[in-house]
Amino acid sequence: MNYDLIVDTSRKGISMALCADSVYEEIVDPSGKGEVLSASLDSLLAKVGATLDDVKRVMVTVGPGSFSGLRTGVAFCQGLCFSGKRNLYGVTTLQALASFAGATDKQVAVIIRARNGFWYLRLNNEESFIETADVIARLKASNTTTAVVDQAALDDPALSAVFTEQGISTTLDTGKPLSMWSPLFESVKPSLIQEANYIQPSYFEKLKV
């Protein structure tokens, strides 16, 4: 049986899952650090009765998120794929979280806190680092029906108001299985060689021109 491995170290701790047809096992460790990645994978493989040779595709989040977490997660997955026995797929954290909405990208927004007054927004397949007012303006100008949000966005009065005003339903970015990210294997091209700036740390910001 061929397995897919999904690894997310861009948020709090470590989330890791093995998927194959009807078989699914997941580990979520909110306090986990990079040094337990190997042990977590060994535990998952033991639970499903598989070996590393059974893993054929690996997906890893590349941010935005904790730089140290991203670096260890990406390096770990690159090491697993270095032999060429399995393909590596890098996806942005916002791209992956959009899958939790279970709808098309153009209908879904993803909003997670970057720092006080600033947010990461994924909308119409574009990702931005912007202030609250800009998030609200873009949501009002869109046909968004669903937003995947973190708790900070849900608790923000201004964002909460626009969700209600625009009739946007919200889905929290926690508590859902990583198997919901599996369709991305079919829409993202595998590549071991990423762009030089493929890791997007939590302070990532594109300059305005």
Tens-place pLDDT, residues 85-109: 999 999 999 999 999 998 655 689 9
The model's pLDDT over 111-130, given as tens digits with 9 standing for 90+, comes to 999 999 999 999 998 999 99
Residue 196 placed within a domain:
no
Residue 109 placed within a domain:
yes
pLDDT of 200: 58
Q: Which domain holds residue 83?
A: 3-92+176-187
The model's pLDDT over 192-204, given as tens digits with 9 standing for 90+, comes to 554 434 555 554 4
**CA 46 from centre of chain:** 25
The verdict on 66 and 103 lying in the same domain is no
How much is the mean pLDDT over the chain?
A: 89
Question: What's the CA gap between 24 and 44, in Å, rounded?
Answer: 9
Residue 207 placed within a domain:
no
Question: What's the CA gap between 77 and 51, in Å, rounded?
Answer: 16
What's the pTM?
0.89
> Cβ(82)–Cβ(193) under 8 Å?
no
The candidate with the shortest Cα–Cα distance to 180, out of 106, 96, 86, is: 96
Residue 198 placed within a domain:
no
Instruction: Provide the greatest CA pair distance for the chain.
Output: 53
The verdict on 113 and 157 lying in the same domain is yes
pLDDT of 114: 94
135 Cβ partners below 8 Å, 6+ apart?
A: 111, 119, 121, 159
The number of domains in the chain is: 2
